[in-house]
């Protein structure tokens, strides 16, 4: 079985490649990349006008399975990923029960093979039940296929436990992912602390809560020499701490979400519960610091923190609604509209953060187009204009702060192991 993806602009950040060319796929793998490949006998996929990129990688997704299938499951979540242009996603362990054992990790991997349409990597919990009291069975989970460890959703309050987790995960060369918000400072807070929260009279989550948490975690990573990844960075000081730590050689990486990179706390003014996220949407100075961090390499990855909820959970008063919304299907459009079309970032920069950046953090094979690699490929039309209509989403979580927005840029085709699984937004399996 031969397939030729013909005539696109191939942007392959891992190899600093940006060329007009073709990709020949045989038996699910990339056989050749180059200009004017002779595709005799191959089926042709016309990519004229499109960007041809490595399959996008999202290292922060909540698939909600097991136990929370009213919000999302592996079937719906992986289809949302495909619709959004992703070929590899990593799912967080804050499910019911928490993924803190090898059997739970195996279960997710097995279910994803049976039900999923994209590759799913499992992240195991750092502590048992994500309770922050006792380390989970890290070695067993890694043996079962866990790619990282995280108590995402919670900060690990005990510095001692977090340090032990860093050291233990590091023995297996796995990264610990921190949800960095000092809990005593964010309890009952619903939005960023600033002029808008004062105006709305809403209890808030100050940026300093994130700063303190990131600072502690970075110091422990430096002390132990272990690998640390900071999830959904949103504050300017946190970006600066990470920047300085990287300069000192600390093994710290970081991600930012499309919403933190493009929205401010002003979005909360209408009390749309879709704007309620942890950490919260911050003010414009924080957003600018994040974009600067993206551009200077402080931030390694763009990750959605896709966190769907059932409609009846989000249709509540703001202070009672759960945090998070479904980000997989709007990520490419939001990022290209707000960062590329405004001239703040280039396409190779953006695609690096959505392919090889996260792939390197998770380890394993993904995020690069090269002969011999699995043909996981995403085609993007950077100029396609579309309006966000959440009723067409594949995810079960229909709430989005981008509802009704006109975006420019969309994933138009996705191949996983050479198989076309999404075309023009429609998932084909
Ligand atoms: Zn989180």
Q: What is the pLDDT of residues 90-104, one digit of tens each?
A: 999 999 999 999 999
CA of 40 to the centre of ligand 1 (A): 49
Clarify whether residues 271 and 379 are in a common domain: no
CA distance 351 to 332: 10
Residues 6+ apart with CB under 8 A from 144: 102, 103, 105, 106, 109
CA of 38 to the centre of ligand 1 (A): 47
The yes-or-no answer on residue 315 being catalytic is no
Residue ranges at the known binding site for substrate: 62-64, 94, 278, 309
Clarify whether residues 267 and 328 are in a common domain: yes
Tell me how far apart the terminal alpha carbons of the chain are, to the nearest angstrom.
19
Cα dihedral across residues 357, 304, 299, 332: positive or negative? positive
SS (H, E, C) 259-320: HHHHCCHHHHHHCCHHHCCCCCCCCHHHHHHHHHHHHCCCCCEECCCECCCCHHHHCCCHHH
CA distance 394 to 81: 9
CA distance 12 to 28: 18
pLDDT lower than 70: segments of the chain: none
pLDDT on residue 39: 87
Clarify whether residues 48 and 97 are in a common domain: no
Beta bridge partners of 230: 178, 254
**Selected catalytic residue, list 305, 381, 383, 389:** 305
CA of 177 to the centre of ligand 1 (A): 9
CA–CA distance from 115 to each of 76, 120, 141, 165 (Å)? 9, 11, 21, 32
6: containing domain: 2-52+373-395+406-427
Clarify whether residues 380 and 345 are in a common domain: no
For residue 415, give the nearest of 369, 353, 384, 350 by alpha carbon.
369
In a domain, residue 63? The reply is yes
CA of 59 to the centre of ligand 1 (A): 12
CA distance 114 to 234: 36
CA of 63 to the centre of ligand 1 (A): 13
**24: domain CATH number?**
2.30.40.10
In a domain, residue 400? The reply is no
For residue 153, give the nearest of 325, 324, 395 by alpha carbon.
324
pLDDT on residue 1: 84
In a domain, residue 147? The reply is yes
CA of 21 to the centre of ligand 1 (A): 39
Phi, psi for 67 (deg, rounded to 5): 95, -20
Please say whether the beta carbons of 190 and 275 come within 8 A.
no
**346: domain CATH number?**
3.20.20.140
pLDDT on residue 9: 98
CA distance 280 to 210: 10
* Count of domains forming the chain: 2
In a domain, residue 368? The reply is no
Residue ranges at the known binding site: 60, 62-64, 94, 152, 179, 232, 278, 305, 309
Clarify whether residues 142 and 262 are in a common domain: yes
């Amino acid at each position: 079985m031969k397939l030729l993806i013909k005539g696109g602009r191939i942007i392959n950040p891992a190899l600093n490649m940006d060329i007009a060319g073709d990709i020949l796929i045989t038996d699910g793998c990339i056989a050749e990349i180059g200009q004017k490949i002779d595709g005799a006998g191959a089926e042709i996929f016309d990519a004229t006008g499109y960007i041809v990129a490595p399959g996008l990688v999202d290292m922060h997704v909540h698939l909600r399975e097991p136990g929370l299938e009213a919000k999302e499951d592996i079937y719906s979540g992986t289809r949302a990923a495909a619709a959004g242009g992703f070929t590899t996603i990593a799912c967080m362990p804050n499910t019911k029960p928490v993924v803190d054992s090898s059997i739970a990790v195996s279960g997710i991997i097995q279910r994803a093979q049976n039900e999923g349409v994209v590759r799913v990597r499992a992240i195991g919990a750092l502590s048992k039940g994500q309770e922050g009291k006792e380390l989970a069975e890290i070695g067993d989970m890694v043996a079962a296929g866990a790619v990282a460890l995280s108590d995402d959703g919670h900060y690990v309050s005990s510095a001692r436990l977090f340090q032990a987790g860093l050291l233990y995960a590091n023995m297996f060369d796995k990264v610990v992912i921190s949800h960095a918000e000092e809990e005593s400072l964010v309890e009952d807070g619903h939005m960023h602390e600033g002029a808008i929260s004062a105006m709305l009279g809403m209890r808030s989550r100050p940026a300093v809560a994130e700063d303190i948490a990131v600072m502690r975690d970075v110091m422990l990573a430096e002390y132990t020499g272990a690998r640390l990844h900071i999830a959904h960075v949103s504050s300017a000081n946190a970006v600066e701490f990470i920047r300085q730590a990287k300069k000192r050689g600390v093994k710290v990486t970081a991600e930012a979400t499309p919403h933190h990179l493009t929205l401010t706390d002003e979005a909360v003014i209408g009390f749309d519960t879709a704007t309620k996220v942890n950490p919260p949407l911050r003010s414009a100075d924080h957003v600018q610091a994040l974009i600067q961090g993206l551009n200077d390499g402080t931030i390694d990855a763009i990750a959605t923190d896709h966190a769907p909820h059932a409609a009846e959970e989000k249709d509540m008063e703001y202070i009672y609604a759960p945090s998070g919304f479904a980000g997989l299907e709007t990520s490419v459009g939001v990022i290209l509209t707000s960062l590329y079309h405004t001239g703040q970032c280039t396409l190779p920069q953006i695609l690096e953060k959505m392919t090889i950046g996260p792939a390197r953090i998770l380890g394993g094979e993904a995020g690069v187009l090269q002969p011999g690699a699995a043909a996981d490929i995403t085609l993007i039309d950077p100029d396609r204009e579309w309006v966000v209509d959440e009723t067409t989403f594949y995810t079960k979580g229909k709430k989005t702060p981008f509802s009704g927005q006109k975006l420019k840029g969309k994933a138009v085709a996705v191949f996983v192991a050479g198989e076309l699984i999404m075309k023009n937004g429609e998932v084909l399996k």
